[in-house]
Amino acid sequence: MSVTEIVLLGLALSMDAFAVTISNTFMYQGNSKARNVAMPLAFGLFQGLMPCVGYFLGRLVSDVISQYAGIITFAILGFIGAKMIWDAFHEEGEVHSSSSENDSALNRSADTANAPISKGQILTLPVLILQAIATSIDALAVGVSFAALSVNVVFAAALIALTTALTCGIALIIGRRFGNALGERAIIIGGIVLIAIGIKSLLF
């Protein structure tokens, strides 16, 4: 397998991580720079680690991967996405409820509704790890194919990891730009994106 083929494979494998990174920048605009940088690094790390796991476990896990990968991805991303949408509507309801108490509260809540996403929205490490696992499960099967093709798995995995990290870095820039423009709606859109990726993994 040539370098070009591995890079193209890495791009294909990174598409879910690309979409999740954009979704995360929509939903977690309270992130520090360090947390934002952690996203491409985590997605790249797991995308490179999974082919190695698949390579060494080989056919022992290939049947399990093909049977349950979609279900696992849907369960993880679907849950996270649904929770973010629920929280977004719940917080919005609280804002409108408190705004009806008096005129000054109404003005303050109106300002809050038009402001960017709450700075309290921060991506936690456990959630990031779950997302990285969910978006890299397909790479396990790729590792199995590497064993069959006698590919240098260390080099291929490193190249896939680098490709994924760069792709997610681009997604981070895109998401931050449009996330600020979308305001509170970005949380809902981000949740929908996660659920859509989960459904796609389950059906296809």
Q: What is the DSSP letter of 115?
A: S
Residue 77: its pLDDT value, please?
76
The single residue listed with the structure tokens 């680690």 is 49
Residues of the chain predicted below pLDDT 70: 58-66, 84, 88, 91-120, 179-187, 190
Structure tokens at 95: 């804002």
Residue 112: its pLDDT value, please?
43
10 is in which domain, residue-wise? Answer: 3-203
Residue 103: its pLDDT value, please?
46
Residue 74 to residue 77: CA distance in whole angstroms: 5
Structure tokens at 84: 């973010």
Residue 183: its pLDDT value, please?
57
Residue 185: its pLDDT value, please?
66
pTM over 0.75: no
Residues 44/161, Cβ–Cβ less than 8 Å:
yes
Q: Count of domains in the chain?
A: 1
Residue 115: its pLDDT value, please?
41
The per-residue pLDDT for range 141-160, each reduced to its tens digit, is 788 778 777 788 899 999 99
Residues 72/137, Cβ–Cβ less than 8 Å:
yes
Q: What are phi and psi of 100, to 5 degrees?
A: -80, -5
